[in-house]
Amino acid sequence: MLAKFKQQGYPASFAPLLMAGLALVLATGLALVPLLLVFQWEWWDFPWKPSGLTRIVLTASHVVSGFLVLALIGAVWTVHARAGWLRQERHISGTGLLMAVGILTVTAPLLLYVSHEDSLTWIATAHTAIGGLLPLILLGHALQRRKR
């Protein structure tokens, strides 16, 4: 994957920065899942759930790394995605990635501003589910490249 980005003119640090940002978003998002299950779904009482300063730092890290990833995906869109679309390569996985990022981008501010409890629960669940699927879609996208 690094070679593909270099070939398309991205700096050498671009792909590692994108992957690091995605890893940080995923890690902080997974750390916030117990909060979803405890407070939104009222299912389980976990032995550990972030509270106080830990919750604030995790949430802030998730938001900041999400903004970083969104900016980098904008850079991916301008060259990589458009070139792949014109070459008619990996339309399904590429479209899936862009749709997943779009859904995450739309649901993120809704988590802050929706006040209806039932709607908030479903928005948070959709955000978490799509965020969990994103690495799998990305892996499928990368593996399709290796098959060719």
**pLDDT of 86:** 86
**pLDDT of 146:** 65
**pLDDT of 148:** 58
pLDDT category at 145 given cuts 50, 70, 90 is low
What integer best gives the mean pLDDT of the chain?
89
| Chain centroid, CA 76 distance in Å | 14
130: number of Cβ within 10 Å: 17
If you average pLDDT over residues 77-83, what whole number do you get?
87
pLDDT category at 73 given cuts 50, 70, 90 is very high
> Greatest CA span in the chain, whole angstroms?
50
Token pair, residue 12, equals 């050498």
| pTM for the structure as a whole | 0.85
Please tell me the distance from the alpha carbon of residue 123 to that of residue 78, in angstroms, as a whole number.
Answer: 29
CA angle in degrees (0–180, nearest 5) for 121-125-129: 175
**pLDDT of 44:** 73
* The total number of residues written for the chain in this structure: 148
Higher-confidence residue of 36 and 111: namely 111
Higher-confidence residue of 86 and 128: namely 128
**Would you list the domain boundaries of the chain?**
16-143
**pLDDT of 36:** 84
Contact 46, 38 (CB under 8 A): yes
Share above pLDDT 90 across residues of the chain, in percent, rounded to a whole number: 59
**pLDDT of 30:** 94
If you average pLDDT over residues 91-116, what whole number do you get?
94
